[in-house]
Structure 1
């Protein structure tokens, strides 16, 4: 089903910047003033022809008229309003979409208000944390991470200035000899006088790297693989070379507390490290040439599979966008520890992911890449790939962390992925019908349902017992 695009607010803002009236813009793109008025009021969707003409007249990329931000905002708002603490609210999905299109600032304010409520609840439930928190503290570490995740979610998981700085630095060190780790270590020593050394920890401490600025040394854990160590050096280069640039981005984000700001600094350093090891243009070209085969990409760039998947989800540079992808990582308990999406696919903000999604099955077959065609309740279908990864090791008593990573794209882009070769993208079978989480999923016939949707009543027939012991009633 073709998705309708509404971009009235964006068009109005661009028109006003150009100093044009509605009538002026209508005349230039060849529509009537009343038609233009309906477009700006989001009463009419944009046709392909109108989008092209708007882009030409307003001198912007056609991506400026995408309503993906509104879709994401509506989905986030729906989950926030699905909090059991708010009771059963009779709010339709269309009302949420209207709020996101016509009053996005109000919708974001509601999301922020809910975040503050969750912080207050967490403080109340954990007296020790509340006593340690100073006045104005942003709350628990989890709240800070959620705030930073929301920041990256709403900027499309792409930071242009930092990405281009990393690409420029990668070009400067590209001619050095050796692998990525050697090149980065040489640059660090030549430009900062910091000597990189590798150490086998006798006590098995699970550290990755330790920078001692006063002594001019960077100590790396020699039990870890080279991609992990190269990423660590690249991360330290971000804080040494681009801390001012990172701080400007964090200050502009206006986080609610210092904890979130500190988390965002670390996250942006990680972002820079990925962009440095996998420079945008070169990596995007190779990704398309290799049809997004993450194993081949990992081998070529000397990075891990997880680093490749994460980087693929950031390829949203204006004018040179990659395939819109999602990426997430879950632990064995089903907790989502990383989540990024340039697609319309939404992840659960609270609780685990859908249990019939193939990412959970990946733990059972750690050597394989699992491929699935998944359909969300709105009818959008995705090529979903899942793979298990293990971190740590290197010695018998080392801690080993096990995760499953998932990545994929809308089915329309599936042919650009080597993993689609095993399915018929024109008529995929079977299609696995998943949801964001049980609290938000409307599927009445799901045999894996853990709880009913927050906005549906349940009925129980004493003479009927299905796998799920209740039936979903009307809203």
Structure 2
């Protein structure tokens, strides 16, 4: 038997049996330090240790079989080589996956087989019904999801646009709270574009910006604040002053449809606009001085609460990082309309979010900033800030818009925020246990669980029902 480094498999075996390193070392008659080295792949798994595992725990030696590993490598190579358009996976990485995480490898292969089977069924259905195959292909991943994944992969920081916007902000002498006047002047003097406010009585609140390239008129909604108007003008300037950079970044994203590319260009233009009126260096300095007080930051720069939160989630310049935030905007029904992240925090792509999360409690206390110390199932803890934002410009009886905006950071950064004042950051027993969504959350006994987790076994007990198929009286 050649040297086999299989620490992850050994650790998994120990965790499945609920043993500590010391307990397993004692059972195998090994020193704890030697077992620790085995689990960290600093020492190879030897035949005597393998035989001892078999004798003590009845472990099938096939679990550590090189033949099984070779089969996995072959199947994984075939899988990754057929995935066109994805990042190349090297043979060294495939071997590492098969050797140390065979369960993950087998799960990937199972998912791939399931995906192929579903695609074959779709193709058969398309042929039977005479549908357009191009539409079916385009709908497998929605355009906005592609764009969202693109920003997530960049940690919500587009360095080239941020640097360009900051340099232009300095060159144009844009001052906080006075950006609207400067940008309107830039549009008119450099591009011959006149900025007007729509004064029509039936001007819809939905149309915040409309540009007529023929007449060179940029029409803004009359309901916009100065900060919102500045943002809309900056967005228009993004297409005029940073169009080449935006096109280059969009091309590099390798998006699958014209719709996704259009959405990406709009998202990048909005990013540029935010970086132009809230330039990186000055904004980060103010954020640190004010301990990330969102309302004071908004007042200092003349922008709204949501705009400030969004900009805070982008401050990840390598040589000058701010607190890495997760930013989200939801409505009362739980629909997520905005989600950007510079953190490892994530929510499920299937099903809703967690009802115990304070972004939903914010609707019961409109306009008030709520704080929450929350812990995820993986034991990572976060500080969350949430507040409602409202828009409504119609007359009596006209419906308005109310969203809850959430901003969160890892607990290790919490002390840098003013919102940690008075909170016990060390006693996790008082933290709210939240999850990524019921369908993927392992908290089986959560009082707010709506349905079982995907893949879990639902135990039905007539005397102790948790999930009723019909509304209880």
Fold shared by both chains (TM-score > 0.5)? yes
Task: Tell me if the contact between 1:339 and 1:347 (Cα under 8 Å) persists in the aligned partners.
Answer: no
Q: Higher RCO, 1 or 2 (CA under 8 Å, sep at least 6)? A: 1
Query: Structure 1's 186 and 146: CA in aligned 2 closer, same or farther, altered over 3 A?
Result: same
- Residue 386 of structure 1 aligns to a residue whose secondary structure is strand
Query: Is 1:234 equivalent to 2:234 in the alignment?
Result: yes
Q: Is the 8 A contact 1:197 1:219 kept in 2?
A: yes
Question: Is this contact kept in 2: 1:136–1:257, CA < 8 A?
Answer: no
Within 2, Cα distance between the matches of 1:97 and 1:306? 47
Query: TM-score normalised to the size of structure 1?
Result: 0.70
CA distance in 2 between counterparts of 1:459 and 1:178 reads: 59
The 5-angstrom pairing of residues 244-323 of structure 1 reads 244-323=244-323
Contact 1:460 1:469 in 2 (8 A): no
Structure 1 residues 417 and 115 mapped into 2: Cα distance closer, same or farther (>3 Å)?
Answer: farther
> Equivalents in 1 of 2:316, 2:262: separation in Å?
25
Query: What residue in structure 2 maps to residue 22 of structure 1?
Result: none
| Structure 1 residue matching 2:307: 3-state secondary structure | helix
How many residues end up aligned between the 2 structures?
Answer: 371
Distance 1:362 1:186 in 2: 39
1: distance between equivalents of 2:99 and 2:220?
A: 49
Q: Is the 8 A contact 2:351 2:438 kept in 1?
A: no
2:442 paired with 1:442: yes
Q: Spell out, residue by residue over 1:114-149, the C-alpha distance to the aligned partner (whole angstroms, 9 max, x if none).
A: 69979x97xx89xx9x97x78368635980000100
- Cα distance in 1 for partners of 2:285, 2:365 equals 31
Q: TM-score, normalised by structure 2?
A: 0.71
The alpha carbon displacement at 1:288 in A equals 1.0
Shift of 1:430: 2.3
CA distance in 1, matches of 2:367, 2:460: 43
Pair 1:407 & 2:403 matched: no
- Spell out the pairing of 1:157-176 with structure 2 (5 A cutoff): 157-174=156-173
What residue ranges of structure 1 are gaps of 5+ in the alignment? 1-37, 45-93, 471-475
For the Cα contact (< 8 Å) 1:383–1:411, is it kept in 2? yes
Structure 2 equivalent of residue 334 of structure 1: 334
SS in 2 for 1:235: helix
Q: How does 1:26-41 map to 2 (within 5 A)?
A: none
Higher Rg of the two aligned structures: 2
Partner of 1:188: 187
| Change beyond 3 A, Cα 1:381–1:189 | same
Give the 5 Å matches for 1:53-452: 135=134, 139-140=138-139, 143-174=142-173, 179-205=178-204, 206-393=206-393, 395-396=395-396, 399-427=399-427, 430-452=430-452
**Alpha-carbon deviations, 1:151-177, whole Å to 9, x = none?**
111111111101111111111222579
- The 1-side partners of 2:320 and 2:161 are apart by 16
Q: Which moved more, 1:220-229 or 1:415-424?
A: 220-229
1:462 aligns with 2:445: no
Which whole-Å CA distance do the structure 2 matches of 1:198 and 1:154 have between them? 38
**Alpha-carbon spacing, 1:375–1:469, altered in 2? closer, same or farther (3 Å):** farther
CA drift of 1:270 comes to 0.7
By how many angstroms is 1:392 displaced? 3.8
Q: Deviations over 1:415-443 (max 9, x none)?
A: 11111113121225621101101111001
Q: 1:173 to 1:115 in 2, by over 3 A?
A: farther
* Cα RMSD, aligned residues only: 3.6
**Other structure's SS at 1:186 match:** helix
